[in-house]
Amino acid sequence: MKFITRAIDRNNSHPQQMFQRGFTLVELLVALVITGIVISLTGTGLYALMNANQRSQIETTDRLELEQALAFMTDEIKMSQQVMTNIPSDATGFNPVSGDTPIQIILVLKPAPSSKLTKPIIYYLADPPNRSVWLGPRVIYRWGPTLLQNGNYSDGDGNDVARISTGSLIEYSNEVLVDRISDRVTASANIACESSYNYAVPAVTARKGFYACIAPAKKSVKIWMYKQPNSSAKSQSINALIVTRSN
């Protein structure tokens, strides 16, 4: 027992010296390397997470913009008498915006007689306005009367068209509906209409990001819209079949 006691006493005779020994240089270097690796992995993961979140936000915003544009067009198509792809010969006054690239008329709406509108409403592709917040390569323009908060057309002076006399002057203007419309759509894009529809899908090299094909009776239209992808988010698209409800 004495031997054991002396051994224990000898081993514990200088406990403070053991705790005061500190770390060697090698141990410090190893700790620094491990800490650096952990910080690097954490930073990389955080950066990737932030990028993924940014992409998700951009894609969500793009999708929402397309849905809002489609909802607006849907309401207007439903109020129209007919849908067309060409401007009627008796329609006058169409004054589209100018740009480096020629415009492309995609959809023409013939208003219902009850609307008191005498000119068609025209949706077309064109370059974005100069020095504006709207981005290209193309934007969808709407040429038509402005709308009031109640959803009715305005004559341009803030008066409800439904309450003005027939034949009164109604001002038409060009407004951007949605921007960043693709200038090229890939061959994999699912663009197809029934063979009886008044529309022929363009060649791949000529495809743009806004299409409309019309049924023979000019009472229904199928629409596609494609948003241009940016550097971090993928492209967004939307389509719908819409039927007019006015006679």
Domain membership of residue 69 as a residue range: 49-243
Contacts of 234 (CB under 8 A, 6+ apart): 55, 59
The answer to whether position 18 is within a domain reads no
Tens of pLDDT, residues 227-236: 988 777 788 8
Return d(Cα 220, Cα 209) in angstroms, integer.
Answer: 20
Q: What is the 3-state secondary structure (H, E, C) of 73-118?
A: HHHHHHHEEEEECCCCCCCCCCCCCCCCCCCEEEEEEEECHHHCCC
Two tokens, residue 177:
């509906």
The answer to whether position 22 is within a domain reads no
Grouping H, G, I as helix, E, B as strand and the rest as coil, residue 205 is helix
> Given a cut of 50, is residue 73 above it in pLDDT?
yes
Return d(Cα 108, Cα 231) in angstroms, integer.
Answer: 34
- Which pLDDT value is given to residue 14? 53
Among the residue ranges 5-9, 62-66, 201-205, the one predicted with the least confidence is 5-9
The answer to whether position 53 is within a domain reads yes
> Given a cut of 60, is residue 68 above it in pLDDT?
yes
The answer to whether position 11 is within a domain reads no
Helix (H) or strand (E) holding 175: strand 173-181
Return d(Cα 76, Cα 109) in angstroms, integer.
Answer: 8
Grouping H, G, I as helix, E, B as strand and the rest as coil, residue 58 is helix
Return d(Cα 217, Cα 116) in angstroms, integer.
Answer: 23
Q: What is the mean pLDDT of the chain?
A: 83
Return d(Cα 247, Cα 227) in angstroms, integer.
Answer: 33
Total domains present in the chain: 1
The answer to whether position 138 is within a domain reads yes
Tens of pLDDT, residues 44-66: 776 666 677 778 888 889 999 99
pTM for the model stands at 0.77
> Using alpha carbons only, what angle is made at residue 54 by residues 184 and 191, rounded to the nearest 5 degrees?
25
Residue 151, phi then psi, degrees to nearest 5: 90, -5
The answer to whether position 180 is within a domain reads yes
Tens of pLDDT, residues 142-188: 999 999 988 889 999 999 988 888 778 999 999 999 999 998 876 56
The answer to whether position 183 is within a domain reads yes
> Given a cut of 50, is residue 199 above it in pLDDT?
yes
The answer to whether position 27 is within a domain reads no
Helix (H) or strand (E) holding 47: helix 25-79
